């Protein structure tokens, strides 16, 4: 059963980067993704943030009356609240109060499918919860779960805090183990000399759909925010004899909680260690320019700002001819595509070929059929031009990387 929610969107005068309509649209979609039902929306203009309630007490009383009249049982703020602000607001409203960080954490908790994703989300949740443990109010009884029950004493709370800190320590160790496993996997990919491309972008830009369309795979796709949390790598055919590995990554969003950035550091390394980056932009979105800026900012924050990037303008099918021309003028270096209809994907593969380059050399070799490992490596590099079988050997004409060429010298024939 979905919760009945009221959305609160504070806007500080003189500090508006997004229009109210765009903020409402995004928060409504986040709420829907979290299985909430929006019953009312308050856009609140404020001169300054108040330390007690973030917004003015008078407006808060108005929200309380509306929630009571409409049977609303949760209020969602489109900003991050301090623990004290959250407690004070809940005392006034008498119902659950959720800030932007908690909303996104809730979505992540329900989206995480692998053990790795669940570890990273739990770490972020506990870091968020720890400073919010109190002996009173709605917050503890709602968030505690197995940690504590409504109204425990201070001794119980101290035990809970120690348990949470110990759990955080254990989770950090598990994430280090994840990072080591990923490093081993990356070393294996680098040894294969197959180019590795990370697909990044604002949440719901269509990253999973693009990887699916290029690879013929079936990564989970849904028209909701953060449909993908766990990185997935697929083989993509750029041309008849050229392949690349393409990794679908977690989407970025405005004001992404710092707990999540820290907790997902091991996952973000997939972007940092990639050879190239495809920056996918939903060109049909009214805030496409701001989304591009946010994504580029995150790339710089995680240490991937200097990577070679190809900007790809997705959802071009949603634009009319005039809008297309304007978009292509503004983003003259972008590759227009529709991951859904597959428009422009052939041209995109040509752009990717140019991006990754090709240092392979041609060779004709007679390789014993028992040398399965070498045959597999040639096949993985995607460079087999012809193949025949004779006297227990595979006669191959192929294009291979310099390291593999060195290993094939003894099998080379004219």
Contact 222, 199 (CB under 8 A): no
**Residue with more model confidence, 411 or 147:** 411
Of 93-97, 155-159, 225-229, 245-249, least confident by mean pLDDT is 225-229
Q: Which two tokens stand for residue 323?
A: 């809008």
Q: What is the average pLDDT across 282-310?
A: 91
How confident is the model at residue 151, as a pLDDT?
35
How many residues are listed for the chain in this entry?
Answer: 414
Contact 135, 152 (CB under 8 A): yes
* CA 78 – CA 101 distance, rounded (Å): 9
Contact 205, 281 (CB under 8 A): yes
How confident is the model at residue 268, as a pLDDT?
79
How confident is the model at residue 120, as a pLDDT?
82
Q: Is the per-residue pLDDT at 141 higher than 50?
A: no
Q: Is the per-residue pLDDT at 145 higher than 50?
A: no
- Spatial CA neighbour of 94 closest among 73, 78, 69, 70: 73
Percent of the chain with pLDDT over 90: 36
Backbone angles phi, psi at 331, to 5 degrees: -115, 70
**Residue with more model confidence, 275 or 232:** 275
Distances (CA, A) of 242 to 181, 193, 379: 27, 11, 10
**Residue with more model confidence, 264 or 109:** 109
Q: What is the average pLDDT across 384-403?
A: 84
Name the residue with tokens 């499918």: 113
Q: Is the per-residue pLDDT at 137 higher than 70?
A: no
User: What does the pLDDT look like over 175-203, one tens digit per residue?
Assistant: 888 878 877 877 766 666 788 999 999 98
Q: CA angle, corner 404, sides to 380 and 345, nearest 5?
A: 35
Helix H or strand E encompassing 234: strand 232-239
Contact 62, 40 (CB under 8 A): no
How confident is the model at residue 222, as a pLDDT?
52
Sign, Cα dihedral of 27, 32, 36, 42: positive
* CA 248 – CA 263 distance, rounded (Å): 18
* CA 205 – CA 316 distance, rounded (Å): 12
What domains sit in the chain, N to C, each tagged with a CATH number?
A: 3-98 (3.40.50.11060), 115-175 (no CATH), 188-356 (3.40.50.300), 361-411 (no CATH)
- pLDDT range class, residue 4, cuts 50, 70, 90: very high
Q: Is the per-residue pLDDT at 411 higher than 70?
A: yes
* CA 160 – CA 203 distance, rounded (Å): 34
- Spatial CA neighbour of 149 closest among 162, 161, 135, 163: 135
* CA 124 – CA 168 distance, rounded (Å): 9
Distances (CA, A) of 178 to 99, 174, 181, 226, 301: 30, 6, 5, 21, 21
User: What does the pLDDT look like over 193-232, one tens digit per residue?
Assistant: 788 999 999 988 999 899 989 988 665 555 555 545 556 7
How confident is the model at residue 229, as a pLDDT?
53
Q: What is the average pLDDT across 23-30?
A: 90
How confident is the model at residue 133, as a pLDDT?
75
Q: Tell me how far the alpha carbon of residue 108 is from its chain's centroid.
A: 10
Q: Is the per-residue pLDDT at 135 higher than 50?
A: no
User: What does the pLDDT look like over 67-80, one tens digit per residue?
Assistant: 999 999 999 999 99
Instruction: Give the 3-state secondary structure of residue 329.
Output: helix
Q: What is the mean pLDDT of the chain?
A: 83
Name the residue with tokens 């953060």: 226
Q: Is the per-residue pLDDT at 397 higher than 50?
A: yes
User: What does the pLDDT look like over 330-349, one tens digit per residue?
Assistant: 999 999 999 999 999 999 99
Q: What is the average pLDDT across 2-10?
A: 91
**Residue with more model confidence, 259 or 11:** 11
Q: Is the per-residue pLDDT at 401 higher than 90?
A: no
Beta strands in 254-383 (DSSP E): 276-282, 308-314, 335-336, 361-368
């Amino acid at each position: 059963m979905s919760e009945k929610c009221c959305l609160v969107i504070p806007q500080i005068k003189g500090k508006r980067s997004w229009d109210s309509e765009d903020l409402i649209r995004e928060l409504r979609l986040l709420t829907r993704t979290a299985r909430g039902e929006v019953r009312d929306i308050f856009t609140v203009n404020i001169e300054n943030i108040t330390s007690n309630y973030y917004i003015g007490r008078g407006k808060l009383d108005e929200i309380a009356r509306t929630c009571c009249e409409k049977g609303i049982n949760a209020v969602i703020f489109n900003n991050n609240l301090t623990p004290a602000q959250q407690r004070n607001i809940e005392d006034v409203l008498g119902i659950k109060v959720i800030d932007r960080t908690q909303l996104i954490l809730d979505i992540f908790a329900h989206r995480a499918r692998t053990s790795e994703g669940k570890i990273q989300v739990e770490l972020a949740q506990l870091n968020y919860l720890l400073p919010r443990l109190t002996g009173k109010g709605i917050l503890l009884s709602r968030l505690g779960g197995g940690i504590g029950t409504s109204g425990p004493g201070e001794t119980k709370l101290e035990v809970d805090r120690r348990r949470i800190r110990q759990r955080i320590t254990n989770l950090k160790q598990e994430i280090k183990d994840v990072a080591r496993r990923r490093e081993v996997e990356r070393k294996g990919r680098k040894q294969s000399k197959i180019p590795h491309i990370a697909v990044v972008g604002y949440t719901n830009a269509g990253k999973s759909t693009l990887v699916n369309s290029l690879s013929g795979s079936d990564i989970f796709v849904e028209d909701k925010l953060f449909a993908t949390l766990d990185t997935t790598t697929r083989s993509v055919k750029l041309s008849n004899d050229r392949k690349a590995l393409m990794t679908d990554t977690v989407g970025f969003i405005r004001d992404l909680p710092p707990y999540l950035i820290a907790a997902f550091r091991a996952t973000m390394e997939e972007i940092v260690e990639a050879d190239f980056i495809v920056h996918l932009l939903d060109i049909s979105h009214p805030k496409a320019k701001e989304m591009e800026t946010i994504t580029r900012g995150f790339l710089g924050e995680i240490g991937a700002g200097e990577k070679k990037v190809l900007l790809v303008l997705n959802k071009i099918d949603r634009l009319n001819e005039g809008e297309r021309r304007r978009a292509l003028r503004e983003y003259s270096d972008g590759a227009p595509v529709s991951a859904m209809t597959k428009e422009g994907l052939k041209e995109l593969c040509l752009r990717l070929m140019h991006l990754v380059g090709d240092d392979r050399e041609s060779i004709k070799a007679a390789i014993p059929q028992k040398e399965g490992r070498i045959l597999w490596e040639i096949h993985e590099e995607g460079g087999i031009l012809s193949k025949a079988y004779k006297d227990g050997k595979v006669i191959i004409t192929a294009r291979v990387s310099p390291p593999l060429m060195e290993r094939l010298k003894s099998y080379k024939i004219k």
